[in-house]
């Protein structure tokens, strides 16, 4: 569903709705070492790419590629 949506042109309320829908479908918490997929809502340049979670922080952020801290909302466990 998300791969056909142009996320560059969405309004804030539309993005929040997509996050809510994805949260209902994918409920598994991301852990260190999990393979995760980006859905491109907050990071359209990584849309559809698969990463490995390298760090999990106490707030709603995770680490990918051993150096980049991103929001957990946009990624789901594969």
- What is the mean pLDDT of the segment spanning 64-78? 88
For 44-53, what is each residue's pLDDT tens digit? 899 889 999 9
The count of structural domains within the chain is 1
> Which domain covers residue 34, as residue numbers?
2-77
Gap between the Cα atoms of 57 and 18, Å rounded: 23
CATH number reported for the structural domain that contains residue 52 in this entry: 2.30.30
Q: Residue 7, SS3?
A: helix
Gap between the Cα atoms of 22 and 11, Å rounded: 17
- What is the mean pLDDT of the segment spanning 41-67? 90
Q: Quick one: pLDDT at residue 20? A: 79
Q: Is the pTM of this model over 0.85?
A: no
Q: Quick one: pLDDT at residue 4? A: 58
For 6-46, what is each residue's pLDDT tens digit? 666 778 788 778 877 877 776 778 999 999 999 887 888 99
Assigned token pair, 59: 């707030």
E strand or H helix that includes residue 12: helix 12-25
């Amino acid at each position: 569903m998300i791969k056909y949506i142009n996320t560059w042109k969405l309004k804030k309320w539309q993005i929040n709705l997509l996050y809510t829908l994805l949260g209902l479908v994918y409920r598994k918490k991301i852990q260190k070492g999990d393979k995760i997929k980006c859905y491109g809502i907050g990071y359209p340049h990584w849309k559809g790419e698969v990463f490995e979670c390298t760090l999990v922080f106490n707030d709603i952020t995770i680490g990918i590629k051993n150096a980049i801290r991103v929001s957990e909302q946009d990624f789901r466990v594969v």
